[in-house]
A and B are shown apart, each in its own frame.
Chain A
Amino acid sequence: MNELIHGGLYGGMIVGVLMTTTAMALWFERKFAARMQSRLGPTMVGPSGLLQPFADVVKLLQKEDIVPFQADRVLFNLAPPLGAIAAISVAAVIPFSADIIAADLDVGVLYLLAIGALGVLPVFIAGWGSNNKFALLGGMRALAQSVSYEVPLVLAALVPVILTGSMKLSAIVEFQATHHWLVVWPFFLGVPAFIIFMLAMLAEANRIPFDIPEAESELVAGITTEYTGIKFALFYMAEYVHTLVASAVGAALFLGGWDGPFAPGLGWMVAKTLALFGFVYWLRWTLLRFRSDQLMALCWRYLVPAGVVLVAASAVWVVWVG
């Protein structure tokens, strides 16, 4: 019972904070993109345009809700909330500090990989249910991409599990706090695994340079082509939450989580997460988009073999050296 109250309390807090952060992230991205393109970005709505995301939501709530002719009503309406739930659920196991964890599962890494992989399902449901060729193409691309990149993601996440000997996220962070951050030592295992994790995470979240499923120049808006108003907002939010949560997971698995000097653990965790999050934006407004075949080649010819080698090397390191 105690655990339930603890989980509910922290879960609610984390979801609230996530939503606010996502809204701010939207504002931040628009300002950031504008600066990269020597524009100003939102300035008129609230101070420095800070209220822009809220105006967007207020507007989206008022829009007509259109279900396309001959679309699969159930699937079409099911996909957006499912996407949002899948993205938010991952946040349950993230250790924001030594005691701010909604559910400190013994199989935390397994949980987040499983629920994270669930995120592709609503995407494909949306593509299938929209009765729109662009949405269907987007859904197919997303499915192929996410299923492929699931493999290097799992392999990369296995490295910290092997090195620290636990699947519990708090234990992984604890290990790094008492020993070294995994990107510091053994860096020849930690750094490549971290890079593979970040690349696979970008592909899972459909961010540039892997945003083939919603390539605007080819597929209008990909899976969200037929979605209006608040359903579109849910999809949009799910994408941001997915990126944000994946950044937090990266920070916990490889960058020592809440560990750091002079500041409370929560501060360090938030700083590391936002740094990774900002890095994703930086990539987004800098890089171009991969072609489908290049994307698959990168995954199966480079990331998967490298991941397998890393996992084997980690095992060797743990048994004979560490």
Chain B
Amino acid sequence: MTHEPAAPAPAAPRPRTVDDGSNFRHPLYQVLLDTPGLTVGTAAVDDLLTWGLTNAMWIFPMATSCCGIEFMATMASRVDIDRMGSFVRPTPRQADVMVVAGTITTKMAPRVLKLWEQMPEPKWCVAMGSCAISGDFYRNLYSVVPGIDTFLPVDVYIPGCPPNPEALMHGMLRLQEKIRGQRHGKDFAPKPDAALLKITQPSIPRLVEANRPADLSAAQERASDQPTVDEATPALVVAPEDAPEVAPLVANDFEGLLKEVGVTELPKDGPPLVPAAHHLELARRLKALGYRQLVTIAATHWLAGRGRKGAVADEVEHFEIAFVVRTVGAGSRTAAWAVRVLPGQPLLTLSGVYAGADWQEREQFDLVGVKFAGHPDLRRIMQAESATSFPLRRDHPADAPCAPWR
């Protein structure tokens, strides 16, 4: 779902204020101006309040990746941001500045917005590092928000990958300047450069842009207020198909087991392909033989006409799911096999044999879209719960939209 610039809605009548450009002056305002010494007094009080605001900026650390390490270094002895009265508060209720240090994914974004909403006014937001500013080299990735200014009102951008502690300190000092300036009526609104904007335009309009549709902000607000993943998404239940009964396997080594299920020679271009009917029994027997650790499950999506051997004219669209198990301890042996399934055809889950298969199969379901029959809890695990696509499929567009975050 992409957001077209909506037709401009009829502007609601706004209350007239002193600084809306209409030269409106409340009668009381003139009286206050004429009172001798009053403006001097209020200016002094305002300066005192600004002094307090700028000199006690407590930070809420929204540190998600490597920028967070530089952020921690800023708290430590070499730079020591405590010198200007800033320190970290772990709860958003007592913070003044949210420093977003790191990549924000579409799954993280609603949480970030929720934490931002929990901070009390007046509050400021600092985008630390390229990822927070624009998404940087993850910008066109299916899961990354292209810049936090698409949903947060950023005050200061600190470029760098990551910016060093001195840069963050400098950014905080610039934020002080900005607050002081704003209290004195200075305009800090960005002056967009049309040519630059053409290059840096994120996939959804920024908060400051005039063509940003109101329903986009509303959708982001709504998403940040949703219940947790567990409540929001029920697990997908896939019943096992009626498979023919297979005889229990009896061989005592992996080679023998492969022969038993009909694989006579090991292919050179990948793990041996085992018939799906024997898949679960093979895993059970291997575990009985001491292969107690499930190393990985990896699914590959092949479009029609392509397969593991390269271009094959009569190949249909299919998934190939590889399994790797090993024995534990010294002299460990590994066994790997693959199963081929067609789109829509479920594969029996291994989670009854290997407990570790639970999350691995969820991951393959989330990213590639393979269904596992009999899986106890088949939900998305890495992507946002609202995601609708399977990004590691070969026909998935690299910069797919993910409403309302990209």
- CB neighbours (8 Å) of A224 from chain B are 91, 94
- CB neighbours (8 Å) of B76 from chain A are 37, 39
Closest chain-B Cβ to A230's Cβ sits at a distance in Å of 11
Q: Are A232 and B94 in contact (CB under 8 A)?
A: yes
Q: Are B96 and A49 in contact (CB under 8 A)?
A: no
Q: Are B94 and A228 in contact (CB under 8 A)?
A: yes
Q: Does A65 contact B (CB under 8 A)?
A: yes
Knowing A38-B77, A59-B52, A62-B122, say if A220 contacts B91 (CB, 8 Å). yes
- CB neighbours (8 Å) of A7 from chain B are none
CA distance A57 to B52 in the complex (A): 8
Chain B interfacial residues counted at CB < 8 A? 25
CA distance A57 to B55 in the complex (A): 11
Closest chain-B Cβ to A296's Cβ sits at a distance in Å of 25
- Residues from 328 to 364 in B contacting A, C-beta threshold 8 Å: none
Q: Are A40 and B52 in contact (CB under 8 A)?
A: no
CA distance A38 to B90 in the complex (A): 22
Closest chain-A Cβ to B224's Cβ sits at a distance in Å of 14
- CB neighbours (8 Å) of A225 from chain B are 91, 93
- CB neighbours (8 Å) of A64 from chain B are 120-122
Number of A-B contacts (CB under 8 A): 96
- CB neighbours (8 Å) of B121 from chain A are 63-64
CA distance A319 to B52 in the complex (A): 60
Closest B residue to A57 using CB positions: B52
Q: Are A62 and B53 in contact (CB under 8 A)?
A: yes
Knowing A39-B80, A58-B49, A221-B89, say if A66 contacts B94 (CB, 8 Å). no
Q: Are B120 and A41 in contact (CB under 8 A)?
A: no
Q: Are A37 and B93 in contact (CB under 8 A)?
A: no
- CB neighbours (8 Å) of A37 from chain B are 76-77
CA distance A63 to B49 in the complex (A): 11
Knowing A39-B76, A42-B83, A52-B55, say if A62 contacts B49 (CB, 8 Å). yes
CA distance A226 to B84 in the complex (A): 25
Q: Does B155 contact A (CB under 8 A)?
A: no
- CB neighbours (8 Å) of B48 from chain A are 58
- CB neighbours (8 Å) of B53 from chain A are 58-59, 62
Closest chain-A Cβ to B180's Cβ sits at a distance in Å of 14
Chain A interfacial residues counted at CB < 8 A? 37
Closest chain-A Cβ to B230's Cβ sits at a distance in Å of 15
- Residues from 169 to 228 in A contacting B, C-beta threshold 8 Å: 216, 220-221, 224-228
- Residues from 207 to 240 in B contacting A, C-beta threshold 8 Å: none
CA distance A44 to B62 in the complex (A): 25
Q: Does B82 contact A (CB under 8 A)?
A: yes
- CB neighbours (8 Å) of B90 from chain A are 216, 220-221
Q: Are A44 and B77 in contact (CB under 8 A)?
A: no
Q: Are B80 and A62 in contact (CB under 8 A)?
A: no
CA distance A226 to B96 in the complex (A): 14
Closest B residue to A51 using CB positions: B55
Name B94's contact: one of A41, A58, A221 (CB within 8 Å). A221
Question: B61-84 toward A: CB 8 Å interface, digit per residue (1/0)?
Answer: 000000000000000110010111
30 residue pairs bridging A and B, Cβ less than 8 Å apart: A34-B82, A37-B76, A41-B80, A41-B82, A42-B83, A44-B83, A45-B84, A49-B83, A49-B85, A52-B55, A55-B52, A55-B55, A55-B56, A56-B56, A57-B52, A58-B52, A58-B53, A59-B56, A59-B96, A62-B49, A63-B121, A64-B120, A65-B120, A66-B93, A66-B118, A221-B89, A221-B90, A226-B93, A228-B94, A228-B120
Q: Which residues of B contact A (CB under 8 A)?
A: 48-49, 51-53, 55-57, 76-77, 80, 82-85, 89-91, 93-94, 96, 118, 120-122
**A54-B52, A221-B89 given. 18 additional CB < 8 A pairs?**
A30-B82, A38-B77, A44-B55, A45-B55, A49-B83, A49-B85, A52-B55, A52-B85, A55-B51, A55-B55, A55-B56, A60-B56, A63-B120, A66-B93, A66-B118, A221-B91, A225-B91, A228-B120
